[in-house]
Amino acid sequence: MSAKDTLRSNKTAILSTLCVDQRLILNKVHEKNLITSREYNNLKSINKEDVEGHVVELLDKILNKGETTCQHFLNILQTDEDIKATFPELKLQQPKEISFPESIQEVSSNDEYVLHDNKRQKREELYQLNTRPVGLCLIINNESFCDGSMRRGTEKDAESLAQVFSWLGFRVLMCKDQTRDQMNRTLECLALPTNSTDLLEFQVQEWSGCSFVTPQQVLQHGDAFVCCILSHGKKGVVLGTDLIPLPIKHITQTFKASEQSALSGKPKVFLIQACQGGQKHKGVALKDVEADNCGTQTIPEEADILVAVATVEDYAAFRHISDGSWFVQSLCQQLKERCPK
Q: Where does residue 99 rank: exposed (0-12), middle (13-18), buried (19+ CB within 10 A)?
A: exposed
- Between 233 and 122, the more confident residue is 233
**What's the CATH fold of domain 135-338?**
Rossmann fold (3.40.50)
Is 30 marked active-site? Answer: no
What are the backbone dihedrals phi and psi of residue 53, each rounded to the nearest 5 degrees, phi first?
Answer: -60, -40
pLDDT tens column, 253-263: 999 887 778 88
Find the mean pLDDT for residues 197-216.
Answer: 86
Report the CATH architecture of 3-86: Orthogonal Bundle (1.10)
pLDDT at 174: 96
| Set 189, 275, 294, 332: catalytic member | 275
β-pair type (268-273, 237-239): unpaired
pLDDT tens column, 266-322: 999 999 998 876 665 445 454 555 555 544 443 333 567 888 888 766 667 777 777
Find the mean pLDDT for residues 220-236.
Answer: 94
Q: Is pLDDT above 80 for 84?
A: yes
| Set 189, 232, 294, 332: catalytic member | 232
DSSP characters over 15-83? HHHHGGGHHHHHHHHHHTTSS-HHHHHHHHT--S--HHHHHHHHHHHHHHT-HHHHHHHHHHHHH-HHH
Measure the CA–CA gap between 210 and 294, rounded to whole angstroms: 31
User: How far from 84 is each of 17, 79, 88, 277, CA to CA, in Å?
Assistant: 11, 7, 5, 47
Domain positions in the chain are: 3-86, 135-338
Measure the CA–CA gap between 46 and 37, rounded to whole angstroms: 14
Find the mean pLDDT for residues 94-115.
Answer: 42
pLDDT at 131: 93
β-pair type (324-325, 318-320): antiparallel
pLDDT at 162: 95
Using DSSP, state whether 85 is helix, strand or coil.
helix
Is 70 marked active-site? Answer: no
Find the mean pLDDT for residues 163-188.
Answer: 95
Q: Is pLDDT above 70 for 90?
A: yes
pLDDT at 198: 73
Give the alpha-carbon dihedral of 53, 36, 173, 224, to 10 degrees: -50
What pTM does this model have? 0.58
User: How far from 2 is each of 28, 68, 74, 159, CA to CA, in Å?
Assistant: 22, 10, 11, 32
As a whole number, the mean pLDDT across the chain is: 80
